[in-house]
Amino acid sequence: MATTAKTYVPPREQRRKSIGSALVLLGTLNVAFGILSVFMTRNHAWTDAFMASLPIPGTGTSMAADPSLMRQVKIGATRAWYATLADQSSTLVAETEVANESPLPVTKIVVEAHAYDDGVPVRTVSTMCGLSVSQRLIGRLTREDLAALLDLAPPSPLPVAPGETIRCQLAFPGLKEGAEEVAFRIASAEPFPGPPPPRLLPAE
């Protein structure tokens, strides 16, 4: 049995109302975005805190990570050694000092380390600076304990003032001996929320 297709054409007035509603909605969104932009421009402390609460994928920890700021945070003295854990497994431990050479206080510095064996990358780990343990305590931990410790973030990352340094410690649990080189890089850094402290006294 043949069927007949029916085509419905909405009235001209209804189509005009739909277009008008879309234009009103678009205008409202533009006004709201403009107000938010002005507020974020004038309130830097709120903007930094808001951006820091937005996570992003990758090695950066949040939207507050500043690529230009990362280039002014420098890797300093480094060292690496193999440690024997409580369960008789070995792990490669690496440490470095990071210096803040920018004019702003910096917080939530994330360092990424690459372990190489005969020039071939074998493992990559990253951590937030500020949490480190002694060699003696590392020897009392098992591989599972060390992995859990590495997952912890500093309870309240303190700002690193201009010219100051912070210690960063990483470990490669389960990595067999043989890695002969460790390369570090700054993966993420954020400006400390709030306006920078005045560097010059105001004229009287």
Report the first-to-last Cα separation within the chain, whole angstroms: 96
Give the whole-angstrom CA distance, residue 170 versus residue 77: 14
Q: Convert the pLDDT of each residue in 86-120 to its tens digit.
A: 888 888 889 999 999 988 888 888 899 998 888 88
pLDDT of residue 59: 47
| Residue bearing tokens 């792990």 | 91
Q: Assign a CATH topology to domain 64-191.
A: Immunoglobulin-like (2.60.40)
pTM for the full predicted model = 0.63
Give the whole-angstrom CA distance, residue 66 versus residue 108: 11
- Asked if residue 110 lies in contact with residue 169, where contact means CB atoms within 8 angstroms, the answer is no
pLDDT of residue 30: 87
Q: Residue 90 corresponds to which tokens in the numbers above?
A: 């070995």
Reduce the DSSP state of residue 139 to 3 states and report it.
Answer: coil
Q: Convert the pLDDT of each residue in 55-64 to its tens digit.
A: 554 445 555 6
pLDDT of residue 16: 60
Give the whole-angstrom CA distance, residue 86 versus residue 190: 36
pLDDT digit string (tens) for the chain, length 204 residues? 555 666 655 565 555 667 777 888 888 888 888 887 777 777 766 766 666 666 554 445 555 667 778 889 999 988 888 888 888 888 888 999 999 998 888 888 889 999 888 888 888 888 888 888 888 888 888 888 887 777 776 666 778 999 999 999 888 887 777 777 889 999 888 888 765 555 555 555
Give the whole-angstrom CA distance, residue 152 versus residue 60: 16
Give the whole-angstrom CA distance, residue 107 versus residue 155: 12
Q: Residue 183 corresponds to which tokens in the numbers above?
A: 């390369």
